[in-house]
Amino acid sequence: MTDTAVSGVLVLDRNQTRAALPPDELLAAVRTALISISRGDASVPPRVAARAPQGLLGAMPGYVPRLGLAAKLVTVFSAVTAGGHGAHRGIVAYFDEENGRPLAVMDAETITAVRTAVTATIAMRALARPDVTRIAVIGTGTQARAQIDLIASMTSAELLVGARNRYNAERLVGGLASGTATSIEAAAKDADVVFCCTSSREPVLHRSWLADGVHLSSVGGSDGPEFDADTLRASSLFVEWQGAVTEPPPAGAWELQGTDPADASLIGAVLDGGHPGRRLAEEMTIFKSTGHAALDVAAASVAYQVARERGLGFSVDL
């Protein structure tokens, strides 16, 4: 993806990064990245992190053929926002894959939230039953808002927002054309699809709340499990990469520790046609996301190209 027409490094702030991530383009790029992971084409080394007393600084470089080369530097600190939620802050740097020149720097929190929502939605499309009428989003933080925004722009299904704090759920629903704020249990019991986007340290979803045939996309749980062991045992499991099972948290998933790696299928293999995905209408499916640098590469490639086309950001000499 050599670019010799413009010198300097393009810098995108938070709003410009978000404006440079249109859903259709990002859906296509993330799909390509997920398939690349399943084929073994992506080059992504193990994550590394430096730990401070209140959090960590992680580094996630990656290369994906046809999408490019990028690296994310992100801090993960607990209870640093006004509402007491954790925060993921940092930058994503995008490079020319042919000569190594830095091309762009953009907001990592936006990249992470939007690409995660897109990944969870791709999994839903691949695994959920075709007759989905009610979708629940559990959580009220940055990731939940990104998921709600994406769902609202793509489907006419009824949206349920479940949270422990009813007021926060009502605030999210207030900005939508339609939607219902309710408890976590009520949202889960009424939904055909559940997106779990929390920072909980213990399960917020239980098997007894979930109907047969439901699809669950779980994208939170950096500090602990989002769903209980009974839910996992009752479901067919799909992940972005095998490390979600084989690696310890936070690289791997809390919910999947001790799981037989043979029980986890790659979502990229479903997208690529190598795995059938859901086999039965009553089958429960789980997509457990832990994030992957290839997805950051996908989002950065879209943001850079769209920003160039739309004249977003400004250039600096580095």
SS3 157: coil
pLDDT higher at 178 or 248: 248
pLDDT of residue 4: 44
* Res. 148: pLDDT tops 60: yes
- Are 227 and 235 in contact, with CB atoms under 8 Å apart? no
- What is residue 87's predicted lDDT score, i.e. its pLDDT? 66
Tokens of 92: 């994503």
The angle formed by the CA atoms of residues 123, 222 and 288, to the nearest 5 degrees, is 20
Which of 30-34, 149-153, 209-213, 294-298 shows the lowest per-residue confidence on average (mean pLDDT)?
149-153
Enumerate the domain spans of the chain. 9-111+293-316, 118-288
In the DSSP assignment, the letter for residue 47 is P
Say how far apart CA 32 and CA 30 lie, in whole Å: 5
Other Cβ atoms less than 10 A from the Cβ of 190: the count is 18
Q: What tokens appear for 119 in the block?
A: 């990944």
Which DSSP letter does residue 205 get? B
On whether the 9-111+293-316 domain is CATH 3.30.1780.10, my answer is: yes
Q: How confident is the model at residue 7 (pLDDT cuts 50, 70, 90)?
A: confident
Position with higher pLDDT, 5 vs 19: 19
Mention every residue, 6+ apart, whose C-beta is less than 8 A from residue 273.
none
Q: Assign domain 118-288 to a CATH class.
A: alpha beta
**Residue 34 to residues 9, 119, 180, Cα–Cα distance (Å):** 28, 8, 32
Which helix (H) or strand (E) covers residue 136, if one does?
strand 134-138
Q: Which pLDDT score is estimated for 79?
A: 57
Provide φ and ψ at 105, rounded to 5°: -130, 135
